Structure 1
Amino acid sequence: MALSMTAFARQEAQQEWGTLSWEIRSVNQRYLEPHFRLPDTLRALEPTLRERLRQKLARGKVDISLRFTPADQQATLELNEPLLNQVIGTAEQLQQRLDVSAPLDIMRLLQWPGVMQSAQVDPDELRQTALSLFNDTLEELIEHRRREGNSLVAHIEQRLTQILDIVEQVGDYLPEALQRYRAQLKQKALDMAIELDDGRLEQEVLILAQKADVDEELDRLKTHVKEAQRALKSSGPCGRRLDFLMQEFNREANTLGSKALSTDITQAAVDLKVLIEQMREQIQNIE
């Protein structure tokens, strides 16, 4: 099933100790490109979040943000002494290595992520709640992508059906165009008082028919339609496959236009290119 890369999801969880809210936005991108904005107290979750995102999504630029609001904004802060000791010890080692004796800035030490933390919040519970809520938000995003993808598939399938209709029409146009060319040759011969025997006339018509033969192009267009329909029904990501097929569609439409014997066939080639471009624009959003 084709998934759109454009989607949005938001989930919120309220607990006694505060509120967590996730927002995930995704737009089209050639590769998977996640960007995280997390509170300092939960920044250590980023590797786990990246892995979960990679398991669920294949492409797209994804902006992920988490907001944590404590229940009591005036809650008492407590000092994370083990972490503070590590920071001070590392700073002192660096001073010795660089042979400097500058005093440590107390305020900067206190601003170090995790040194000061709310006494009311259990860090493990906070992390588990954040991870669980992230999973729910990600599933909501995927469902949104699925709905958008269904809409894109319907749009593309409609254009594929129109392409098949045009292919059938072009198959009918060619015999009529050759008949008109035969009549035009006869008329020119009469106008110029040139005697043109039937054998020579048929030879000229045959030469033109060989130059204007588009059966191969029409067959390839039908094959490309089948491949596109198969890709749209596949279970995995299909955007890149469809994008490649649009290039092949366009190549056949160009060849068809260059071989056109009549304005009907020329217009058919133009109509094909319009439909192909409409599909290509939609495919840019498919994962």
Structure 2
Amino acid sequence: MPYSMTGFTFVKKTFPDYEISVSVKSLNSKGFDLSLKGDKNVVMYLDLDIRKLFQESFERGTFQVVINITYQNLSNVLDVEKLKIILSQIKDLVNNLNLNLTDDKIYDILSYQLNSNNSEELPNQLKEDVLNTVKESISLLKQERKREGDKLILDIESRLKIIKDFTEKIEKEKEVILEKAKERIYQKVKQLLGENYSERAFIEATLLADKIDITEEVIRLKTHLERFYQLIKLDKPIGRKLDFLCQEMHREINTLGNKMPDFSNYTVEMKTQLEKIRQQVQNIE
């Protein structure tokens, strides 16, 4: 069954020295797009790896990924000696310039210095843990998109059934409607040509009636419906193909209504259901 493009997952994993959280929000999109936010070192060093993991798992969708790391023991992360040196330099500068800075201000300066300098390569173990957490998030997101996709297909199938039923009604009734139309045309042509040209009027009526015959449109519409049912059973991205089929079905239904206004009640409802299907299809990968 197809996948929806919408979903949300949140995964939090605790390790000896840190805690990693990954949130992923998936939205509709005509193509693939990913934005990565959160821990700046993760964004800097793992952006390409994370992007590759998503591209291998999804064909379409906009993905908003936020990764945060909370360290349990800062001594394992910070260079304490470097920290002492920076703090000493700040204090010396404050004293030399006779600055009156509160501890909060000194802390702000220290934080800025740390953030400016703390862009070192991520440890291999941390990289592995982050990527594994991302993989788990992707797995859960696929499950969520699958559940949403199943709901979409159930709704689409119910609406396809309505269109299919109306198509079968039109197919059964079209010959009667066509004969009535032919008779109306025959009488009008005969009035114009006179009684002496009744045979000619019949030929003209037949030719004109052929122009409003909807047999080909019905056949094509049934073919599109059959193809639609086939596609929604596939376990792969089909959103673009379904969208194209919706356009083709709309064209055939529109032609049916134009050629035979007697079926306008049917075709109006068919187009209403098809529009709702088209809206749902926009959510399918």
Question: Does TM, normalized by the shorter one, top 0.5?
Answer: yes
1:59 matched to which residue of 2?
Answer: 60
For 1:251 and 1:209, how far apart are their aligned partners in 2? Answer: 21
Q: CA, structure 1 residues 133+206, in 2 after alignment: closer, same or farther (shift >3 Å)?
A: same
1:114 matched to which residue of 2?
Answer: 118
* 1:187 shift after superposition: 8.3
Q: CA, structure 1 residues 273+113, in 2 after alignment: closer, same or farther (shift >3 Å)?
A: farther
For 1:269 and 1:76, how far apart are their aligned partners in 2? Answer: 68
Q: Deviations over 1:103-127 (max 9, x none)?
A: xx9986543252589xxxx933322
* 1:16 shift after superposition: 2.9
1:97 matched to which residue of 2?
Answer: none
For 1:76 and 1:127, how far apart are their aligned partners in 2? Answer: 14
Structure 1 range deviating more: 252-261 or 183-192: 183-192
- What secondary structure is seen at the aligned counterpart in 2 of 1:171? helix
**Contact 1:79/1:115, CA 8 A, preserved across alignment:** no
Scaled by the length of structure 1, the TM-score of the pair is: 0.78
Aligned length: 257
Matched to 1:232, the amino acid is: I
For 1:123 and 1:77, how far apart are their aligned partners in 2? Answer: 13
Q: CA, structure 1 residues 189+240, in 2 after alignment: closer, same or farther (shift >3 Å)?
A: closer
For 1:162 and 1:130, how far apart are their aligned partners in 2? Answer: 48
**Contact 1:12/1:21, CA 8 A, preserved across alignment:** yes
For 2:197 and 2:34, how far apart are their aligned partners in 1? Answer: 74
In structure 2, the gaps of 5 or more residues are: 83-108
Structure 1 range deviating more: 243-252 or 199-208: 199-208
For 2:164 and 2:228, how far apart are their aligned partners in 1? Answer: 12
* 1:201 shift after superposition: 6.2
Matched to 2:62, the amino acid is: K
For 2:117 and 2:5, how far apart are their aligned partners in 1? Answer: 34
* 1:142 shift after superposition: 0.4
- What secondary structure is seen at the aligned counterpart in 1 of 2:29? coil
In structure 1, the gaps of 5 or more residues are: 82-104
1:18 matched to which residue of 2?
Answer: 18
* 1:240 shift after superposition: 0.7
- What secondary structure is seen at the aligned counterpart in 2 of 1:12? strand
* 1:230 shift after superposition: 1.9
- What secondary structure is seen at the aligned counterpart in 2 of 1:62? strand
For 1:253 and 1:115, how far apart are their aligned partners in 2? Answer: 61
Higher helix share: 2
For 1:59 and 1:237, how far apart are their aligned partners in 2? Answer: 8
- What is the identity percentage for the equivalent residue pairs of Structure 1 and Structure 2? 29
For 1:269 and 1:220, how far apart are their aligned partners in 2? Answer: 15
- What secondary structure is seen at the aligned counterpart in 1 of 2:167? helix
* 1:182 shift after superposition: 6.0
1:149 matched to which residue of 2?
Answer: 149
